[in-house]
Structure 1
């Protein structure tokens, strides 16, 4: 099997985090008119200062106005827009060594929320109001997780040029549970036990972002799958009836609470106040092949994507611009795919001598079509409405290659893409 190809939505030998770099360029172009409308006079003036970082005064569209629909907040106070200069000079820290001080007044997130706002919001506010993205619809009463399977992702296109197979974001499918939930959770915990910081890390500056993400995801689970998940004791205890566990949210770090209950991967990029660029400040990833999250700890966005073809010359500026202005109410989804010869969950050259991606590297003659799997990395990118962190989450979905044989158009699509793919 030749693993030296990269083409239309097909990614071989490239990480899901790296793959997201290309598709964001496309998204950035689609929303450029929105960004132009959102630009303030102050950011326009600043753009003429070539010595300053280009996004130092660029901030995402604020969701602070949504507080008017949260009990206890006055509409007149919520309509006040915080100027970019204040957001910069009085920023709630996101640097690698800093820890946010929520007791100090008049510090602001990139979204314009003050420390007073954050304290007043309390635990588990209504994130559908804050984000502008509706809550999921509850699964049918007859839904049975023991029979549940992933949706069939087939992100193929006739064109074999490089593109990113964008899909409409579906609020009901942000987190998708299926019949292997218990088995997958056990495997993830074993990976964490064995590989530690290559699987999981959390910088102190991400305290607000990880707590916000945890609350959003657990709120999603309780509304989507209420027969399996619930909150109690003033939203301080999370009950998981699939694993028969209860997580104390007051004593369990937020990212660890997610890791212990959710079989998906998350990476959080935070705005760095000194330069306006986005850095990886927290992550939990168990489905990376050929790389691991420890390699990118505290890295700026462009450094994470150094091995993406043409990234530095053609994509870096667009990516930085997109991250600086991405709205919270416009999440995006996509799916990259590859053909693998084993269903590996996590594998890294850092922990294996003479590492090879293929399970048949030593005996390629033994490889048959029965060994091949279609791997789809279903991915979502969204902005958290309060902290302003950009969250990338993904899950790996495997389908036996032979099952694609009878699907309409799929064999012909795959053949065309394989024949026309660009070698690198």
Structure 2
């Protein structure tokens, strides 16, 4: 019987040949991969070098992706998660039972001025969109009563300085959820634009010669809910006084800004009772000594029976000697507010101009009463005639609405 053994295929020359070809093919494939990897590394290397070169050039120009560096100004703290839609306006300031006209002393009943952290120079809250829309409308209607420049040659550097700091540095840093800085290329060269996510506006963050000073002021007025006054000391004077050289004021109360341009502080505050006796000399001294990098704030208040923010008429908020005054029996609760200004003051580092700014708040007296501050406000109304300038009660028209408002608050 024959032994049946399985047929075992013996190695052959062709098998060796195919294996060698496979090895060569695999080696070639691996080499190609290596070459691809090397080319990729070289590409990434040069891409990184190019990116670094661009970044270095940008940093040399003072640009760090999100903002333009402004080392001459104090550093600004960021608010990465700021939500303007849920941010309430600041509450009314504490109201004193006696009204003092003063620059503020630590030992007085009215300390007046307070130190202000530079990061809190501007405040934004849930009224932002509505208020910016109002400012745009009132600027279009009122012209020089909202935006004006006296001596353009002298004041332009100051306006440019504040403009570039706010649009190039402060806003994109402080409120990054609302503003973003873009680096763009135009035929004329590189430019920086600030995008406002809320209004959709896009404004230059760096000033060119073609942008007038009035346009810069208008842009400020369309971007932030803040009124700005620029002041410089008089020239060629042994005792220089500060003069109002430019402004953007959309919330004037009881005065027409167009009548104040080019005037000294004393002339601007001429109608204020007690100013020449109680405040003029100390204010002049204080303004002359404000240091760069030091920011201060204060607040004032009055009661208004008009919901309009721009009220330049003299008889709308203030009363003057000789005015025809008539006391009212009641007030319209829908149009009666405690009107407060959060005022700030600082000196610009390069131009050395002073910037006086204020943000206007309207608090319905119904809200004041509901919040439990009715008696505090009633006492403060009486206190207008109990401080160092009793005429303030008349000047703020307390003789018109005072008794009616107090009756409501205490009812």
Write the mapping of 1:276-315 to structure 2, written as runs, cut at 5 A.
276-315=240-279
Q: Structure 1 unaligned runs (5+)?
A: 1-70, 73-119
2:182 is the counterpart of 1:232: yes
Q: Is the 8 A contact 1:155 1:335 kept in 2?
A: no
Greater C-alpha Rg? 2
- TM-score, length basis structure 2: 0.65
Give the superposition deviation at 1:199: 0.7
Q: Is the 8 A contact 2:230 2:247 kept in 1?
A: yes
Distance 1:246 1:356, change over 3 A: closer
2:207 is the counterpart of 1:258: no
Counterparts of 1:212 and 1:224 in 2: how far apart (Å)? 18
2:374 is the counterpart of 1:411: yes
Q: Is the 8 A contact 1:229 1:238 kept in 2?
A: yes
Q: Is the 8 A contact 2:63 2:69 kept in 1?
A: no
Give the superposition deviation at 1:420: 3.2
Match of 2:201 in 1: 245
Counterparts of 1:301 and 1:153 in 2: how far apart (Å)? 27
Counterparts of 2:382 and 2:115 in 1: how far apart (Å)? 28
Match of 1:136 in 2: 77
Match of 1:66 in 2: none
Give the superposition deviation at 1:182: 2.3
Q: Is the 8 A contact 1:155 1:336 kept in 2?
A: no
Q: Is the 8 A contact 2:117 2:295 kept in 1?
A: no
2:160 is the counterpart of 1:198: no
Deviations 1:152-206 (A, max 9, x none): 1323134444446433313333211222222222211221121111110123121
Write the mapping of 1:81-120 to structure 2, written as runs, cut at 5 A.
none
2:162 is the counterpart of 1:213: yes
Counterparts of 2:300 and 2:233 in 1: how far apart (Å)? 26
Match of 2:30 in 1: none
SS at match of 2:357: strand
SS at match of 1:213: helix
Counterparts of 1:421 and 1:365 in 2: how far apart (Å)? 20
Deviations 1:263-302 (A, max 9, x none): 2100000122312321111100011122121111111222
Give the superposition deviation at 1:241: 1.4
Distance 1:382 1:235, change over 3 A: farther
Q: Structure 2 unaligned runs (5+)?
A: 1-58, 102-109, 184-189, 319-324, 392-411
2:275 is the counterpart of 1:325: no
Q: Is the 8 A contact 1:199 1:284 kept in 2?
A: yes
2:95 to 149, 156, 161: 156
Deviations 1:70-128 (A, max 9, x none): x99xxxxxxxxxxxxxxxxxxxxxxxxxxxxxxxxxxxxxxxxxxxxxxx99998644x
- Which structure is higher in RCO with an 8 Å CA cutoff and minimum separation 6? 1
